[in-house]
Amino acid sequence: MYDVNMVRADFPVLDREVSGHRLVYLDSANTSQKPRCVVGAVEEHYLHHNANVARAMHTLGAEATEAFEEARGKVAGFINAAGAEEIVFTKNASEALNLAANTLGARLAPGDEVVVSVMEHHSNLVPWQLACQRTGARLRWFDITEDGRLDLAKAHAEGLIGERTKIVSLTWASNVLGTVNPIQSIADQAHAVGAVMVVDGSQWVPQAPCDARASGADILVFTGHKMCGPTGIGVLWGRGALLAELPPFLGGGEMIEIVRMEGSTYAPPPHRFEAGTPPIAQAVGLGAAVDYLAGLGMADVHAHEQEITARILQGMASLDFIHVMGPTEMADRGGAVSFTVDGVHPHDLMQLLDSRGVAVRGGHHCAAPLHRRLGIQSSSRASGYLYTTKEDVDALIETLDWAHDFFTGRTRLRSL
């Protein structure tokens, strides 16, 4: 049985007080907290095994290389890749998506089309805008329905995915709306016209069991710091045959086979895409995070996340001045809950909640076009994770009620 209090004991930061109040950390869609085992793995590597990988032919170099490649294998197992050679380490999901846009984008020509959605994080929008600008391809996108889901009917009516489509790149779960998109069925449509399916899994891989090969994706990216791992490490998984076709993204050491002044040949994947000294200690930390999550069981993590998110939605529904963006039911929904509060700017709300120890995010969450589509400039966002308790959620709801009264001067009586 999942014991959230035992889980919390692995995260010392959750014992902190902020402004004299118990810390209630509800910003995990931004970055997750790190358990002791992850911090310890990074410390152990730096203190006892630090060396560069693949270059130094001495004991420390061999140990560092073994640890780095072992982490690659752990990540491959975590998402059910066909093998470690399908895992490319990057510095974050943004770099992984730029890798995809630059390598797949090299195939684009005028008249070709790339399909994204209006709910994308900037990291899954701007790289494709740049690729289309370079090549003369056209960028098109899914709109959303009133309840914050992809407007599949409109997309079908407009022939959004058609014979000109070369790439479809979508978020698996929105970092604003919480919407979980039907990746497999959209991938089927993309493949039917010969297009490649790219998926941003940054908000989904940390939350639920993931089978990359069964997902329909051809490329899947995610980031370590949202799944209990360190910052500075991201992952691109790609089907082996596709990766073998793609050109290098960055040039430098380790991504080459032979270098001559007249030209160079390149290493096979994944090393073809890992120029220079990679994020070694960060990969070791990510490997420890994968072990930690696997030990908890991702099905149990997901069930806990769903329970916590449902409680947040229920609590917000009891406050008539809060307006949730995106689905208000748990069907096909992730953990990010964005909302507005009548009469209160999200930045002001974020600061006032922080004065009571409650950490949420305020802004456009790197999804400005989505906010513009919804007719607002910014929003607040609460997001729990595997260490979030029911008491954390109750503290959020009580503090939102207090903050609204503070800003509006209205006294409200209600039972919590």
Predicted pLDDT of residue 56: 75
Surface-to-core class of residue 261, CB atoms within 10 Å of its CB (0-12 exposed, 13-18 middle, 19+ buried): exposed
Residues 232 and 259 reside in one and the same domain: yes
Residues 48 and 166 reside in one and the same domain: yes
Residues 395 and 304 reside in one and the same domain: yes
Q: Which of 251, 278, 294 is the last residue of a domain?
A: 294
Residues 249 and 273 reside in one and the same domain: yes
Residues 247 and 393 reside in one and the same domain: no
The total number of structural domains in the chain stands at 2
Residues 290 and 376 reside in one and the same domain: no
Q: What is the pLDDT of residues 150-165, one digit of tens each?
A: 999 999 999 999 999 9
pLDDT at residue 276 tops 60: yes
pLDDT band at 110 (very low <50, low <70, confident <90, very high): very high
Amino acid in the structure at residue 49? H
Average confidence score pLDDT of the chain: 96
For residue 403, being part of any structural domain is answered with: yes
> Hey, which residues are catalytic here?
366
Mean pLDDT within 289-311 = 98
pLDDT at residue 410 tops 60: no
Residues 84 and 186 reside in one and the same domain: yes
Mean pLDDT within 191-195 = 98
Residue where the block lists tokens 């846009």: 101
Q: Which of 294, 315, 340 is the last residue of a domain?
A: 294
Q: Is there a contact between 77 and 298 (Cβ–Cβ < 8 Å)?
A: no
Domain that holds residue 285: 38-141+154-171+182-201+211-294
Predicted pLDDT of residue 416: 36
Mean pLDDT within 94-116 = 98
Residues 158 and 222 reside in one and the same domain: yes
Task: For 27-124, list the strands marked E by DSSP.
Answer: 87-90, 113-117
Surface-to-core class of residue 349, CB atoms within 10 Å of its CB (0-12 exposed, 13-18 middle, 19+ buried): buried
For residue 365, being part of any structural domain is answered with: yes
C-alpha 372/C-alpha 176 separation (Å) is: 13
Predicted pLDDT of residue 413: 39
C-alpha 399/C-alpha 390 separation (Å) is: 14
Residues 102 and 243 reside in one and the same domain: yes
293 vs 56, higher pLDDT: 293
Predicted pLDDT of residue 57: 83
CB < 8 Å & 24+ apart, contacts of 62-71: 64/280, 67/280, 67/283, 67/284, 67/287, 68/278, 68/280, 68/283, 68/284, 70/287, 71/283, 71/284, 71/286, 71/287, 71/290
pLDDT at residue 280 tops 90: yes
Q: What is the pLDDT of residues 326-351, one digit of tens each?
A: 999 999 999 999 999 999 999 999 99
Residues 324 and 244 reside in one and the same domain: no
Q: Which of 242, 260, 294 is the last residue of a domain?
A: 294
Q: Is there a contact between 340 and 322 (Cβ–Cβ < 8 Å)?
A: yes
CATH number of the domain residue 165 falls in = 3.40.640.10
